[in-house]
Amino acid sequence: MNQATHQALPAGLDLDDRSPTVFGWVFALLGSGGLLLFWVMGTIGLQRGDAGTLMWLELEGVWRTLFLSYPFVFIAFVLIGGVLVALRRDLESIGAVGTPLALAVLYYFALIYVRPV
């Protein structure tokens, strides 16, 4: 008859630590990556001259630069998140990957309340 034996994991290795990190990354990438998809559609419309509200906003100067910098911000924070995962800083990596979405919300509020019309 077979007997089940319990083998302890090596010290410092807990498999349960990585599961929440994976789920956190998935949800953070869904938000930030989904926003990137809409950014691409808006930028194509902006370049073609038929972007609707984006054309109406008439983004110029630093506001247009901030709008066009989103993919670079996204890539930079995903790379930072990857480095943090490699350093076993799981919670910080989830925060880093979700940061572009939070910055986009701040940009939106700045467009509404700070930008001169």
Q: How do the domains of the chain map onto residue ranges?
A: 20-113
Q: What percent of the chain has pLDDT over 90?
A: 53
Q: How confident is the model at residue 6 (pLDDT cuts 50, 70, 90)?
A: low
Check pLDDT > 90 for residue 102.
yes
Residue 27 corresponds to which tokens in the numbers above? 């949800």
d(CA 12, CA 5): 21
Shortest CA distance to 18 belongs to which of 106, 102, 89, 117? 89
